[in-house]
Amino acid sequence: SESGSNCYRVVLIGEHGVGKSSLANIFAGGHDSIDSDCEVLGEDTYERTLMVDGESATIILIDMWDNKCEGEWIRDHCMQVGDAYLIVYSITDRASFEKASELRIQLRRARQKEDIPIILVGNKSDLVRCREVSVAEGRACAVVFDCKFIETSAAVQHNVKELFEGIVRQVRLRRDSK
């Protein structure tokens, strides 16, 4: 059946402060969707339909990684529900880059044998003078992660559209190779 096959749950994960919610807000407020209204499904969940390579795709974007609650159940939940992941770090914060590696390992453990589409996202690329992680390091890390890499700036909205289009393409590549 084709029903629902163009709808993907994309989960934002990464250290607090790297810009996950800023990226989600751009997604929620962008003007590139077919029905230019974004549906807010909950406090931290956004749905939007994009046209990518002539085919529509609906992304349900989940930004609840930093939600405060008892225990770790939200994070466990996040690790389980994604069809695809955006692992975000800040290029101005090496610790957040190191955290990204940890998250990659956790994700691999949580979803063993699944070939999950991931993009490693180096955000805050506008802050050139505060850079602590080079483009080459980000790219090399993505090779180890076996995933795509992009640098974005939520502040100046650089590469954000490309990021969401990119994750749709990654999901499709796997779908089409099945």
Q: Which residues bind ligand GDP (CB under 6 A)?
A: 16-22, 66, 123-124, 126-127, 153-155
Q: How many CB atoms lie within 10 A of CB 6?
A: 17
Q: Which partner, Mg ion, ligand GDP, none, binds residue 155 by CB below 5 to 8 Å per kind?
A: ligand GDP
**Whole-number Å distance between alpha carbons of 136 and 129:** 16
For the purposes of burial, counting CB atoms within 10 Å of the CB of 37, is it exposed (0-12), middle (13-18) or buried (19 or more)? exposed
25 sits near Mg ion (criterion: CB under 5 A): no
The edge-to-edge listing of strands for the beta sheet with 45-52 is 39-42, 45-52, 55-62, 7-14, 84-90, 118-123, 148-151
33 sits near Mg ion (criterion: CB under 5 A): no
Q: Which partner, Mg ion, ligand GDP, none, binds residue 126 by CB below 5 to 8 Å per kind?
A: ligand GDP
> What would the two tokens of residue 27 be?
């997604």
21 sits near Mg ion (criterion: CB under 5 A): yes
| Minimum separation from the CB atom of position 51 to ligand GDP (A) | 25
Q: How many residues appear in the chain?
A: 178
Q: Which partner, Mg ion, ligand GDP, none, binds residue 123 by CB below 5 to 8 Å per kind?
A: ligand GDP
Q: Which partner, Mg ion, ligand GDP, none, binds residue 29 by CB below 5 to 8 Å per kind?
A: none
Please, which residues have CB within 8 angstroms of residue 150's CB and are 6 or more apart in sequence?
119, 120, 121, 122, 159, 162, 163, 166
Radius of gyration of the chain (CA): 15
Q: Which partner, Mg ion, ligand GDP, none, binds residue 153 by CB below 5 to 8 Å per kind?
A: ligand GDP
Q: Which residue is nearest to ligand GDP (CB)?
A: 19
Query: Between residues 123 and 170, which has the closer beta carbon with respect to ligand GDP?
Result: 123
| Minimum separation from the CB atom of position 67 to Mg ion (A) | 9
Which residues contact Mg ion by CB under 5 A?
20-21, 66
